[in-house]
Amino acid sequence: MQHDVIDARISPNGSLDVMSRLEVGKLLNASRGELYPLFRNSSLAVLNYGGYLDDGRELLERYKDFDIRVIQEERGIKLDLRNAPATAFVDGKMIRGINEHLFAVLRDIVYVDDTINNNPRFDLQTTDGITNAVFHILRNAGIMRPRTNPRLVVCWGGHSITPAEYDYSKEVGYQLGLRGLDICTGCGPGAMKGPMKGATIGHAKQRMYTGQYLGITEPGIIASESPNPIVNDLVIMPDIEKRLEAFVRVGHAVIVFPGGVGTAEEILYILSILLDPENSRIPLPLIFTGPASAAGYFEQIDHFITETLGPATRQLYRIIINDPEAVARKTLEGVDKVRQFRLKTDDAYYFNWMLNIDLSLQRPFVPRHENMRALDLHKNQAPHLLASNLRRAFSGIVAGNVKEAGIRAIEEEGLFELFGDARIMQPLDVLLNAFVEQKRMKLPTSAYNPCYRLVAEGEG
């Protein structure tokens, strides 16, 4: 199948339009050296706006002739594109939001490689070192607003959702926008786009022209969740773990819409943090919400959580069904509590330094077959550690579903295998089967073949 493509040469908007010769030289090296595949593939994902795919490898094969190069000029740089997706252009001119995202990719990939990796200032083997790296990446991207009261709401949810769920996420975003709250999502389609789209209308009605629509992604997922152009601040974190940490460090509340395994991963991540005894006094509002049609979905999520992590975990979140105004009001109340706590403890409004994040949540988990088999999915551990291991299990399934490396690993070595207590594996099996039946594993147009096999303890 042929896809329309365009050749173009574009200039940067924003921080990369004035650069030193040394900086330009580093960018030139990035486009021609070992960083080039990462830069090319992430750039292609940004340019593929609107052509959402579940298979990161399919995107690379669809535009195998795509090329991008950094061109040095006397007054800075330009990007030379060959065979770029035509959907990124209007009448031959690149959509400005996509232009900004393209240079955000360049900025973050080069910064992480040049300043974070292999730099003794950042010990990426320790909790404090990883958090310090997350902070510097976000600060370099210019997304922090230090002289602003807390108002950033993280919205999680799936890219494969029903029209009713998408419309509901827009209405929640609208109600949040009317109350002066900003939006942060994974920046892709579905529940990641809906709240932003709704908030733009709420902000416009309140004559707010400085609303923030922050998108946080990472190279492994960006191909299947191309950033939507509503995003006015885009950050590409090095891996999923730093992406998740960025969400909870900069956000002041978290709202979860219906989704699939990626959303379940995010839920388990935040629950692992909130279950940690060291965080018991730190407020971080967590709300699960969806339209009336999603009531059963959240019942399944709630059942899975209580069966695996214990009934007491219910105290950490609230489920609100089919009431966008109630969601917005409760979120605003929660954000105000966060503001008061930060003021009392002298913690920054723009970065939650006090939150303890266990190293098991920070270390990159590589979803290889041996790593999936080795996950500790047993009850004989603290609930926050079990939640962390379950988070990794879902992360591996996400990789097997949509990430290029994960898909290839499944093709070459067979299904991922997960071993654990029957008291964990049985509710996990029920939840995953429900995701399959509800077509939450892949986009509805895609057939789903499981990439995993569950083995309860004592089975062959």
Determine contact, residues 183/212, Cβ cutoff 8 Å: yes
> Could you give the number of structural domains in the chain?
3
Rounded to an integer, the average pLDDT of 393-404 is: 88
Single pTM value for the model: 0.92
227 lies in which domain range? 146-345
* Residue 51, pLDDT above cutoff 80: no
Residue 146: its H or E element? none
* Residue 27, pLDDT above cutoff 70: no
* Residue 18, pLDDT above cutoff 80: no
- Answer with the one of 315, 345, 375 that is the final residue of a domain: 345
pLDDT recorded at residue 110: 84
125 lies in a domain? no
Q: Kindly report the average pLDDT of the chain as a whole number.
A: 90
CATH number at residue 243: 3.40.50.450
State percent of the chain over pLDDT 70. 91
Of 48-62, 129-143, 231-245, 306-320, where does mean pLDDT reach its minimum? 48-62
Rounded to an integer, the average pLDDT of 239-251 is: 97
Q: How confident is the model at residue 343 (pLDDT cuts 50, 70, 90)?
A: very high
**What is the token pair recorded at 404?**
């290029």
CATH number at residue 51: 3.30.1850.10
Q: Which amino acid is at 19?
A: M
CA 13, distance to chain mean position in Å, is 24
- Express each pLDDT in 289-335 by its tens digit: 999 999 999 999 999 999 999 999 999 999 999 999 999 999 999 99
**What is the token pair recorded at 63?**
């535009």
| Beta carbons within 8 Å of 185's beta carbon, 6+ residues apart | 154, 155, 156, 191, 192, 193, 195, 196, 214, 215, 216
Residue among 190, 209, 187 at smallest CA distance from 200: 209
Q: How confident is the model at residue 55 (pLDDT cuts 50, 70, 90)?
A: low
Residues 213, 332, single domain; the answer is: yes
Residues 239, 375, single domain; the answer is: no
